[in-house]
Amino acid sequence: MSESTHANSPRWRRLPGERPRQILDAALEVFGERGLAAARLEDIARSAGVSKGTIYLYFPNKEALFCEMIREIPSRHIASVEAMISESATAREQLRAYLRNSWDYVRTPPFEILYRLILSELHHFPDLYEQFIEEVPMRSMRILAGIVTRGIESGEFREIDPLAAGRMLHSVLFVHGVWAAKRARIPFMRDLSDNQVLDQLVDFCLHAIGQAPAPTASHVHT
């Protein structure tokens, strides 16, 4: 009745420039909810505000859409985290700052979803997996290792294998990020605020790699 537009407001619009991104965002949502195999292209289409056929104008098939999504999404965020590394200050402060920034990234829903999808579907896309590993965790570890190295040189940190330390720091940080993103469903995260968890992380990490605070044998401060 009032559906058939006589004059204005067309039923749909041509937006070839924006479609890929709209579809990729919808794909993240639906793949994140159901996984690669169980996700329906029609759901992605509906969520993107287009019809199923349109997806095939921009992506050859379901798998390719999935891969493209994995490739595209992290590149949006990573750079901004890295840009924030402060040059000056002590290694301690650098580490604190980097942990705080990563913490904000790592708790976002897109990251949690991506991490989960990568983990569960990596079997069938080895190249994709390696790219992700290189672009997210290894990058993070290398930066952490760099900070640790500088801290060792300045005497702030104890002598520890910087790459190993980077791996350790990364693992606590990322796991807690994933947990925090799903906080409501995880009992032992429910009563903690994000800032509390971050404080615990920083405290734990700094003690793990820090120089002994006091060289004397037993000296418990209140």
Partner DNA sequence: ACGATTACTGACTCATAAGTAAGTTACTCT
Partner DNA sequence: AGAGTAACTTACTTATGAGTCAGTAATCGT
In whole angstroms, what is the distance from residue 51 CA to residue 55 CA? 7
C-beta of 14 vs 221, nearer to DNA: 14
In whole angstroms, what is the distance from residue 181 CA to residue 178 CA? 5
21 binds DNA (CB under 7 A): no
Asked if 152 and 158 touch (Cβ cutoff 8 Å), the reply is yes
Residue 133: which of DNA, a second copy, none does it interact with, CB under 5 to 8 A by kind? a second copy
Of the candidate residues 33, 63, 134, 161, the single one contacting DNA (CB under 7 A): 63
Of the candidate residues 35, 47, 56, 72, the single one contacting DNA (CB under 7 A): 56
SS3 157: strand
SS3 146: helix
Name which of 111, 163, 173, 118 is nearest 141 in CA terms: 163
Of the candidate residues 1, 2, 5, 220, the single one contacting DNA (CB under 7 A): 5
C-beta of 97 vs 163, nearer to a second copy: 163
Q: What is the x/- site pattern for DNA, positions 94-133, by CB under 7 A?
A: ----------------------------------------
Kindly report the backbone phi and psi dihedral angles of residue 169, in degrees, each rounded to the nearest multiple of 5, phi listed first. -60, -45
User: What is the chain's length?
Assistant: 222
Residue 8: which of DNA, a second copy, none does it interact with, CB under 5 to 8 A by kind? none
Name which of 137, 71, 69, 132 is nearest 102 in CA terms: 137
16 binds DNA (CB under 7 A): yes
Of the listed pieces 6-14, 119-127, 178-186, 208-216, which binds DNA according to CB under 7 A?
6-14
